[in-house]
Copies of this chain bind each other. A is one copy, B any other.
Amino acid sequence: MTDIARSARSVGIVAPQTARFAEALPLQSGERLDGYELVYETYGELNAARSNAVLVCHALSGSHHVAGRYAGDDDDGWWDNMVGPGKPLDTDKFFVIGVNNLGGCHGSTGPRSINPATGKPWGADFPFVTVEDWVNAQARLADQLGIDSLAAVIGGSLGGMQALSWTLQYPQRVRHAAVIASAPKLSAQNIAFNEVARQAILTDPDFHDGNFYEHGKVPERGLRLARMVGHITYLSDDAMGEKFGRALRHGKALYSYDVEFEIESYLRHQGDKFAREFDANTYLLTTKALDYYDPAFAHGGDLVAALAAARAGFLVVAFTTDWRFAPERSREIVYALAHNELDVSYAEIDCPAGHDSFLLADPQYHAVLAAWFDRIEV
């Protein structure tokens, strides 16, 4: 996979691959997807026993591009600090797979793809996909790669929900799971933030009921607002204060709606960048997948009963300053796993960066991950 090692600790230059699936995928909504593609990347080598594969699940705005760089591109994969030779998820030991989820906008079949039934982009007609649907699609990718048993599944935030769901949907196929900065289901407040983001997109006049592609438009205003709201919830109040303060950029009030405080500049920049790159329908679908995720629902709200199906060994990690998915939410998972007498380690990391901590190279956090992966037999 690696062409040139740009540094001793990077996987180097990588390239995405595409897997095609001809068999229809039944979805939780009752609909089905007839034939689809998943874009993925791999790092490290699959061993002869095919027992060292680790699947990395992405969160809302992530993708299959987890580590390394594309030729001619300066951007590292979104979890490059975690995945590589000598890194916590060590590619000298593990064969690591990153995959763009169904309904995504980074190459896997999604709302931007052509709907074979119409010859036009799917747009609003792309079916709703859930965490469970993603896991089913990922399992088929594992099939195609000849991997019967995953050494581990790992993910942060929405990625953590996929890791947890793997252990329930395919308990015999996943030996370990790392559930990081996640929750067993969204709170009403979490749903509220998602709803504001959705309403920003849905009410953007350029959204055209999800079929903006054929109008040559992009609902950039809505996507921009959605991302701005999201970013507030990714950082702690303190982290925001330390990173941007509330100092006036020009040392005095301008009495205008131009940028006056650094935090305004940060949010506008993040919003603008996202609006240029991300797909509005993917954003909507993904927030709904988050809202719907609730493994205890089918068990009358009993998470202990819901997690009884799991067989994996678990690592659960939370961050003290994460107010989006606070440590209490991780402890609910830990409690339910422990109650089922499953092997579970729990780490609560005192990192100031809020929910975004799971993406950062906090030394204590990475040490916990490195030790956990080190103990996994392949």
Residues of A within 8 A of B (CB): 28-31, 127-128, 185-189, 191-193, 195-196, 198-200, 202-205, 221, 224-225, 228-229, 231-232, 235, 237, 240-241, 243-246, 253, 255, 257, 260-264, 267-268, 271, 284, 288, 291-292, 294, 323
List 13 contacting pairs A-B, 8 Å CB cutoff, sorted by A: A29-B255, A127-B255, A128-B255, A187-B241, A188-B237, A188-B261, A189-B241, A192-B267, A195-B261, A195-B268, A199-B271, A200-B200, A229-B229
Q: Ordered nearest first, which 10 A-B pairs have the shortest CB separation?
A: A128-B255, A188-B240, A189-B237, A29-B255, A188-B263, A203-B221, A188-B241, A195-B264, A196-B228, A188-B246
A205 → chain B closest CB, angstroms? 6
* Contact residues in B for A189 (Cβ distance below 8 Å): 232, 235, 237, 240-241, 263
Please judge, given known A-B contacts A29-B255, A246-B191, A263-B188, whether A225 and B196 are in contact too, CB under 8 Å.
yes
The CA-CA distance from A191 to B266 in the complex, in Å, is 12
Contact B195 A228 (CB under 8 A): yes
* Contact residues in B for A253 (Cβ distance below 8 Å): 28-29, 292
Copies in the assembly, this chain: 2
A245 interface neighbour in B188, B202, B224, Cβ under 8 Å: B188
Contact B263 A192 (CB under 8 A): yes
The CA-CA distance from A187 to B262 in the complex, in Å, is 12
The CA-CA distance from A253 to B185 in the complex, in Å, is 14
The CA-CA distance from A288 to B229 in the complex, in Å, is 18
The CA-CA distance from A255 to B240 in the complex, in Å, is 35
The CA-CA distance from A271 to B294 in the complex, in Å, is 27
* Contact residues in B for A257 (Cβ distance below 8 Å): 198, 202, 284, 288
Contact A185 B246 (CB under 8 A): yes
The CA-CA distance from A87 to B243 in the complex, in Å, is 45
* Contact residues in B for A225 (Cβ distance below 8 Å): 196, 199-200, 203, 225
Please judge, given known A-B contacts A189-B232, A237-B187, A255-B29, whether A267 and B196 are in contact too, CB under 8 Å.
yes
The CA-CA distance from A284 to B257 in the complex, in Å, is 9
A191 interface neighbour in B193, B205, B263, Cβ under 8 Å: B263
Contact A246 B193 (CB under 8 A): no
Please judge, given known A-B contacts A192-B263, A257-B284, A292-B253, whether A199 and B240 are in contact too, CB under 8 Å.
no
Please judge, given known A-B contacts A200-B200, A263-B188, whether A193 and B291 are in contact too, CB under 8 Å.
no
Contact B185 A203 (CB under 8 A): no
A96 → chain B closest CB, angstroms? 32
A54 → chain B closest CB, angstroms? 31
Please judge, given known A-B contacts A253-B29, A267-B196, A291-B260, whether A203 and B188 are in contact too, CB under 8 Å.
no
A147 → chain B closest CB, angstroms? 31
* Contact residues in B for A205 (Cβ distance below 8 Å): 205
A229 interface neighbour in B186, B196, B240, B244, Cβ under 8 Å: B196
Contact B192 A232 (CB under 8 A): yes
A235 nearest CB neighbor, chain B only: B189
Contact A246 B186 (CB under 8 A): yes
* Contact residues in B for A200 (Cβ distance below 8 Å): 200, 225
The CA-CA distance from A260 to B188 in the complex, in Å, is 12
Please judge, given known A-B contacts A198-B257, A225-B199, whether A187 and B291 are in contact too, CB under 8 Å.
no
Contact A232 B193 (CB under 8 A): yes
A255 → chain B closest CB, angstroms? 4
